[in-house]
C-alpha cells in the first residue's frame, strides 16, 4: 500500500529543490518552468489521492498552494511521523 503522505512530502521537497535551482533558471528558464509545472501537477495528483477526510488546516494549505506550510504540517503530523 503506498504511503501517500510520504510521497506528497517527497514531492513538496522536490518542488523546493526545483525552485532553488537558480543555475537551471539562469541557463534555461523554460526548462526550469517545465520542471516546476511537472512537480506542481504531481503535488496536485498526490493531494487528490490522500485518504479522506483531510484535516482542515492541511487541506487549506494544499488548496491555497501554501506548500511550505503543507510540508511543515506533514513533518509534524503525518502518520509515521508522530512520536
Q: How many Cβ atoms are within 10 Å of 65's Cβ, its own excluded?
A: 13
Is 82 a member of any domain? no
Q: What share of the chain is helix, strand, coil (3-state, %, to 5)?
A: 75, 0, 25
**How far apart are alpha carbons 12 and 40 in whole angstroms?**
8
Give per-residue pLDDT as tens, 25-64. 999 999 999 999 999 999 999 999 999 999 999 999 999 9
Q: Are 14 and 76 in contact (CB under 8 A)?
A: no
State which residues form the domain around 26.
Answer: 4-77
Query: How many angstroms separate the most distant Cα atoms in the chain?
Result: 43
* Count of domains observed in the chain: 1
Residue 81: band (very low, low, confident or very high) from pLDDT cuts 50, 70, 90? low
Q: What is the pLDDT of residue 80?
A: 65
**How far apart are alpha carbons 44 and 24 in whole angstroms?**
23
Mean of pLDDT values over 13-24:
97
pTM of the predicted protein model: 0.88
Is 83 a member of any domain? no
Amino acid at each position: 500500500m503506498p504511503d501517500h503522505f510520504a510521497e506528497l512530502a517527497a514531492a513538496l521537497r522536490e518542488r523546493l529543490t526545483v525552485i532553488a535551482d537558480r543555475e537551471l533558471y539562469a541557463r534555461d528558464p523554460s526548462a526550469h518552468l517545465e520542471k516546476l509545472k511537472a512537480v506542481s501537477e504531481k503535488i496536485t495528483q498526490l493531494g487528490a489521492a490522500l485518504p479522506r477526510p483531510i484535516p482542515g488546516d492541511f487541506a487549506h494549505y494544499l488548496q491555497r498552494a501554501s506548500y511550505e506550510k503543507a510540508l511543515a504540517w506533514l513533518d509534524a503530523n503525518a502518520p509515521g511521523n508522530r512520536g
